[in-house]
């Protein structure tokens, strides 16, 4: 419980700092958009590049672990979309953000510190891999779909062209691919480049959370309470349950890697969904509310899960 509290409370502190600053009139919503722009175009690409350049692709657990992580996200996303489309009558953009809000975990800012506290330095690799997968693949594909949503045409040719343009121009995808190539070629990482990327990478979580606090000034967290409650259940209970079945039962994954996959799936909604929502001006309030509520509830659910897995 103490490990979870130590990780979760700073998240609230940064959101609260943003809210208080905005409430005092020191910074406004334009600052929130500027901070999110910095995260999306500058800090995240640095994080993904340096993370991918450092990933050890030789570990035999890597592929089944990625299947467990990706499979859990895909199954949960499909479930969320299957309900959102007919019940909530959402369009493509809202459906996409609704689905992402049920699967995108706060792996970077909460997951890695939590795994390191629980398992030590050996947990860094699964944490980094999941974080890069979350950001580069999931947010990258989400960005591509949001680009399609912006397109006035629904014909296959223009849609594919717009989706490809969205991916090929996406700084998150480009930086991750560049880092992957760098790592495969075993190119040296100059110390100034490493320091540059690490400094920017460290700013991702705080900036996104602070921007969310600014955005919440004058807005209701309880609007859409039923939907937010559903997404919280989906993220904190359904997603890890599906990942548990895939990792422990279907794949019979190494227990350590399987436990890491389940813990990361059980994390609350990550702040990058808010960054993406504000970037495309879709689903902003619901994303912010779900991040806040799921983070509060995760104090109990994560503590129970880690006790079940035998983590002290």
Tens digits of residue pLDDT in 180-222: 899 888 889 999 999 999 999 888 878 888 887 888 887 777 7
Burial class from Cβ neighbours inside 10 Å (0-12, 13-18, 19+) for residue 124 reads: middle
Q: What is the pLDDT of residues 300-311, one digit of tens each?
A: 898 888 888 876
Q: At what angle do helices 29-38 and 2-23 cross, to 10 degrees?
A: 130
Q: From CA 32, how far away is CA 213, in angstroms rounded?
A: 8
Task: Please state the pTM of the whole predicted model.
Answer: 0.80
Cα-to-chain-centroid distance, residue 222: 22
Eight-class DSSP state of 236: I
Q: What is the pLDDT of residues 239-271, one digit of tens each?
A: 999 999 999 999 989 999 999 999 999 999 987
Note whether 299 and 60 are within 8 A (CB): no
CA distances from 151 to 138, 146, 157 (A): 20, 9, 11
Q: Quick one: fold of 2-306?
A: Na+/H+ antiporter like fold (1.20.1530)
- The pLDDT of residue 232 is 96
Q: How far apart are the first and last CA of the chain?
A: 8
């Amino acid at each position: 419980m103490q490990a979870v509290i130590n990780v979760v409370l700073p998240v609230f502190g940064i959101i609260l700092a943003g809210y208080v600053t905005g409430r005092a009139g020191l910074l406004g919503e334009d600052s929130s958009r500027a901070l999110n722009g910095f995260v999306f175009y500058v800090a995240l690409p640095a994080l993904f590049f340096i993370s991918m350049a450092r990933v050890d692709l030789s570990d035999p657990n890597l592929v089944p672990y990625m299947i467990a992580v990706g499979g859990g996200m895909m199954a949960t996303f499909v479930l969320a979309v299957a309900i959102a489309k007919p019940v909530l009558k959402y369009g493509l953009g809202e459906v996409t953000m609704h689905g992402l809000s049920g699967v995108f975990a706060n792996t970077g800012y909460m997951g890695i510190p939590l795994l390191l506290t629980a398992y030590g330095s050996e947990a860094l690799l699964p944490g980094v891999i999941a974080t890069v997968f979350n950001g580069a693949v999931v947010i990258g594909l989400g960005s591509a779909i949001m680009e399609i949503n912006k397109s006035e045409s629904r014909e296959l040719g223009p849609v594919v062209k717009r989706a490809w343009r969205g991916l090929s121009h996406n700084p998150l995808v480009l930086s991750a691919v560049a880092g992957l190539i760098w790592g495969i070629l075993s190119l040296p990482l100059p110390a100034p480049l490493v320091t540059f990327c690490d400094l920017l990478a460290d700013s991702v979580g705080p900036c996104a959370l602070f921007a969310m606090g600014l955005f919440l000034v004058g807005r209701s967290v309880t609007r859409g309470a039923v939907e937010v409650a559903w997404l919280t259940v989906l993220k904190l209970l359904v997603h890890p349950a599906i990942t548990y079945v895939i990792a422990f039962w279907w794949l019979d994954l190494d227990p350590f890697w399987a436990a890491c996959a389940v813990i990361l799936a059980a994390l609350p909604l990550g702040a990058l969904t808010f960054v993406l929502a504000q970037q495309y001006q879709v689903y902003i309030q619901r994303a912010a509310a779900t991040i806040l509520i799921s983070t509060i509830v995760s104090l109990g659910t994560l503590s129970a899960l880690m006790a079940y897995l035998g983590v002290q």
